[in-house]
Each structure stands twice: as C-alpha cells, then as structure tokens.
Amino acid sequence: MSGQTRGAEPGEPGSAAPAVDGRTAGAPPTYRADLAAKPPKLRVKGLSVTYIGRDGHETEAVRDVSFDIEDKPGAGEIVVFLGPSGCGKSTILKAVAGLIPPTAGDILVDGHPVTGPGRDRGMVFQAYTSFGWLTVRDNVEYGLRLQGMPASERRALSDQYLASVGLTEFANRFPKDLSGGMKQRVAIARTLINQPRVILMDEPFGALDPQTRWGMQGLLLDVSRTMDNTILFVTHDVSEAVYLADTIYVLSARPARILHQVETPFFQNRDMALKSAPEFRAVEKRLLDMLYAPGAATA
Ligand SMILES: Nc1ncnc2c1ncn2[C@@H]1O[C@H](COP(=O)(O)OP(=O)(O)OP(=O)(O)O)[C@@H](O)[C@H]1O
Ligand SMILES: [Mg+2]
C-alpha cells in the first residue's frame, strides 16, 4: 500500500513521500525498480467526481483522491474508507466499479484502465440488490452461470458460500422472504463466489445484528487471507474499521479527500479478544480524534 501525491509516480525521482498516519514521512524519495516493473493491483490517481443534476446543479463529491494497492500474490488486503455521511465514500467505490465515470483522474486494475464494470471487480452495494425473481441459491450462482460453469460445480460452490453466510436453510426461498440482513448476506455470497480480484463493499454489514456482524467480519478476514483478493470496504464504524483493515483512509467531509492514512498493526492476530486490547483501543481513539477533532475530517 502506498498513498501518493498527484503529478509524480510513487517511487519516481521527484515524488513526495506519502503522508502516513497523519505525519509526512521525511525519507527522501527513492526509485524502486521492482515496483516500477509491476503495476499495482489497483491504482486510483487524481480521482475527482462531480455530479451534474438534470437542472444543471453541480455536486462535487470526490476531489483528487489518489492511492495505490500493490499486488501481493498470496496475501489479501483490506483497505477501509472511513468518513462522515455524504462525504463521497460510495462515489469512490462506484467509480472503481466502473459505474460512474470520473470527472478527472484515472483508475487502473493491473495496469488496465477501468472503462466500465468488469469481472475483475465485484461490488456489494449499500442497498440490498438481490434479484427478486431468483431463489437465494440462484442469486448466489448468478455470476457462475454467466461464466458458463456446469451446474454440479456451481452447486458445490454455492453450498459452500451459502453455508459460510449462514443461509443453507434458505437456499430455495426468494429474497422477499428474507430479512434485510439476510438479503445483504445473499449479496455478499453472490459477490464472493465469483472471486473478483477487487471486491468493493459499501457498508455491507450495516443491517446486521452484532453477532451476525462479527461472524461476517470473520468471514471477510478469512476470505482476504486465503483468496488473495483486495477488498475496499466502506464503514462508519470505527471499531469495524480497525478490526478489518490493513490500511485505513480517513476522508474529509464532502468533497471526499484523503486526510490520513493509518496502517493497523494486527495483521497476523485478529480474534475477538483483540477488540478489547489496549493497542486496539489506542488506534480507535486516534481515528476518533481524526474524525471528530475540530478542523479534522469535518473541515
Ligand atoms: N447520482 C447522484 N446525483 C447527484 N448527486 C449525488 C448522486 N449520488 C450521490 N450524490 C451526492 O454526492 C455526495 C456524496 O454521496 P455518496 O453517496 O458518495 O456519500 P457517502 O459518503 O457514501 O454517504 P453515506 O455515508 O451517507 O452513504 C452527496 O452529497 C450526495 O448527495
Ligand atoms: Mg454511501
């Protein structure tokens, strides 16, 4: 992971050191041939999005957001965006998904420009988005069916993913028979089963009770550690951010800009006990200070 400033590639002569953890690193820029040779898994560079309404009214949602997520084969990564309501978090994810064209800037996956939705990215939306006319199982198998996977293989995989989100008993029901949190779990299974390189999750656990939410957080950590995916995750919940993230970007109020980059120190050790550990609480407090201190994220 590396944040970057606009104008020069990270590691190139003349590029500025990224601001990490609210401080600007003082080390002089160095040229890294290994990074230069391999494109990042995801590069967002100078992303700005301004919506223009039918009446011509302009809403600037995202301003000059840049970050790189390096490709680390065999190791997943969870990057969390934390920021006030309405600041532009969903807009950033939708732009990476290829659903909203940037007003300015570039988005590249494995070096290839994003020009629309693609199978290398999968998104779990903030609102429930199951297909109402398909059963839970057919919803989960939808992407595999589009890929032409034989029914027996689809079935084996959907069994696995339905079990992992706790919906085995509901495989043959329709979304209208499910609660909001259950519908969201269908959407999560439907996205994970396709194993996209980049998974975009927009407050996916907001509708879940605490116990189910913890279970889903555990599932996500397992997925990211075992499947080599990069997950971009949006949440309002500071504790959830610290628990899941390898890297947290704290965003400003609208238009979203990256104010801070925080690396969490818990990569190998994440269990429930961690949430009450002093070092965990210390990161939570730092983030809360960043979000709510006068002139900070709400500036
Ligand atoms: N389709 C749209 N047309 C016009 N304005 C939009 C559109 N979608 C979002 N906006 C505006 O862009 C800004 C950012 O919206 P966005 O949904 O990205 O925020 P958010 O950080 O995800 O908020 P929340 O935390 O409440 O989900 C808001 O002011 C919103 O009103
Ligand atoms: Mg949103």
pLDDT at position 10 is 36
Q: Which residue in the block uniquely carries the two structure tokens 């609102």?
A: 127
Pairwise pLDDT comparison (297 vs 117), residue with the higher score: 117
Q: Which residue has the least CA distance to atom 12 on ligand 1?
A: 61
Which residues have CB under 6 Å of ligand 1? 51, 53, 59, 61, 83, 85-91, 126, 254
> Tokens in use for 284?
């939570």
Those residues whose C-beta lies under 8 Å from the C-beta of residue 136, and which sit 6 or more positions away, are 130, 162, 167, 170, 171, 172, 173, 174, 175, 178, 186
Q: Where are the beta strands (DSSP E) in the chain?
A: 2-3, 19-20, 23-24, 42-52, 58-69, 77-82, 104-109, 112-113, 121-124, 198-202, 230-235, 247-251, 258-263
* Per-residue model confidence as pLDDT tens digits over 107-126: 999 999 999 999 999 999 88
Q: Which residue has the least CA distance to atom 2 on ligand 1?
A: 51
* Per-residue model confidence as pLDDT tens digits over 133-151: 999 999 999 999 999 999 9
Q: Which residue has the least CA distance to atom 9 on ligand 1?
A: 91
Give the Cα separation of 258 and 46 in Å (integer): 11
Give the Cα separation of 113 and 109 in Å (integer): 6
Number of the ligand 1 atom closest to the C-alpha atom of 49: 12
Please check the confidence at residue 6 and state whether its pLDDT lies above 60.
Answer: no
Residue 80 backbone dihedrals phi, psi, to 5 degrees = -110, 135
pLDDT at position 96 is 98
Q: Which residue in the block uniquely carries the two structure tokens 């998974």?
A: 199
Listed residues: CB within 5 A of ion ligand 2: 90, 126
The alpha carbon of 35 and the centre of ligand 2 are apart by a number of angstroms equal to 32
Please check the confidence at residue 31 and state whether its pLDDT lies above 70.
Answer: no
pLDDT at position 267 is 56
Please check the confidence at residue 154 and state whether its pLDDT lies above 70.
Answer: yes
Mean pLDDT of the chain: 84
Mutate to test the pocket of ligand 1, among 59, 125, 200, 249 (most ligand atoms within 8 A of CB): 59
* Per-residue model confidence as pLDDT tens digits over 201-249: 999 988 788 888 888 898 888 888 777 789 999 998 999 999 999 999 9
Q: Is 1 in contact with 79 (CB distance < 8 Å)?
A: yes
The three-state DSSP-derived secondary structure of 131-177 is: CCCCCHHHHHHHHHHHCCCCHHHHHHHHHHHHHHCCCHHHCCCCHHH
Q: Where are the domains of the chain?
A: 1-11+37-120+197-299, 130-195
* Per-residue model confidence as pLDDT tens digits over 47-61: 999 999 999 999 999
What pTM did the predictor assign?
0.84
Q: Which helix (H) or strand (E) holds 181?
A: helix 180-192
Give 7's pLDDT tier (boundaries 50, 70, 90): very low
Please check the confidence at residue 5 and state whether its pLDDT lies above 60.
Answer: no
The alpha carbon of 87 and the centre of ligand 2 are apart by a number of angstroms equal to 8
Mutate to test the pocket of ligand 1, among 100, 250, 254, 291 (most ligand atoms within 8 A of CB): 254
CATH number of 1-11+37-120+197-299: 3.40.50.300
Residue 1: helix, strand or coil by DSSP? coil
Please check the confidence at residue 128 and state whether its pLDDT lies above 50.
Answer: yes
